[in-house]
Amino acid sequence: MNYTPLHPWDVTPAEAVALQQQMRQQIRIEPLTQPVQTIAGCDISFNKFEETVYAGIVVLNLADLSVVEEVGVISRATFPYVPGLLSFREAPALLEAWEKLQTAPDAVMFDGHGMAHPRRIGIAAHIGLFIDRPSFGCGKSVLVGKYDEPAPERGNWSPMRHHGEVVGAALRTKNRVNPVYVSPGHRIDLPAAIELTLACNGGYRIPEPTRRAHNLVNALRKGER
């Protein structure tokens, strides 16, 4: 699938922060404008201390969570992992995978955050701008924001606040299990992101798009694909 290279990725950490400050102004948090029939999950995997990265995207039918398409690429990561600058490490490889995609998914879920980020431009929002598709983040842990523990049953959630602003939600995707952290990225709002996450239930804490993408890239890394 195509996308617009809004800026280079080979920058220094300081330049990365400056780019985020500039790019954030283009982010649009708004209700979905089209119904979602297909949703993609993205993830990357790598061996510790190695620069080779395995990136993959899995597109599912939201109706039955069946696989529509999946692509994987083996690439290299040069940028280090720095909290707050995750997109500069993972986006290049994920965009290479995006290029191999034959069809554009109606929504894209990322393993990380959207606006629940110190500068409101986590990986889901950042890549969302490049691919110009409804994008949101569903992370396994918090980067920024505080919240009250949501009720223990699946479906309950409580807002995450950062500097007094609601930036996401701690959402229970499974009874009695730690919540996942959902936040809008671009061209979507929090209610829609929460609904989509719950709609992707496969019986696990991690929603199916991300879970399947994770399995895909790990298999790729282990040479099982």
**Side chain identity at residue 86, one-letter code:** L
- The reply to whether 194 sits near DNA by the rule CB under 7 A is no
Q: What is the per-residue binding string for DNA in 91-120, x denoting contact by CB under 7 A?
A: --------------------xxx---x---
Three-state SS for 99? helix
Helices (H) and strands (E) in the chain, counts: 5, 8
Residues whose CB is less than 8 angstroms from the CB of residue 26 and which lie 6 or more positions away in sequence, other chains included: 129
- The reply to whether 87 sits near DNA by the rule CB under 7 A is yes
Q: Which of 1, 19, 44, 58 binds DNA (CB under 7 A)?
A: 44
Beta strands per DSSP E along the chain? 38-46, 52-61, 67-76, 107-110, 135-139, 157-162, 165-171, 180-186
- The reply to whether 204 sits near DNA by the rule CB under 7 A is no
Distance CA 43, CA 30 (A): 25
- The reply to whether 220 sits near DNA by the rule CB under 7 A is no
Q: Report yes or no: 67 and 59 within 8 Å, Cβ to Cβ.
A: yes
Total residues interacting with DNA, rule: CB under 7 A: 28
- The reply to whether 168 sits near DNA by the rule CB under 7 A is no
Q: What is the per-residue binding string for DNA in 118-137, x denoting contact by CB under 7 A?
A: ----xxx------------x
Check the annotation: does 189 bind a ligand. no
Check the annotation: does 10 bind a ligand. no
**Which residues of the shown chain bind DNA in the complex (CB under 7 A)?**
43-48, 81, 83-87, 111-113, 117, 122-124, 137, 139-143, 217-218, 221
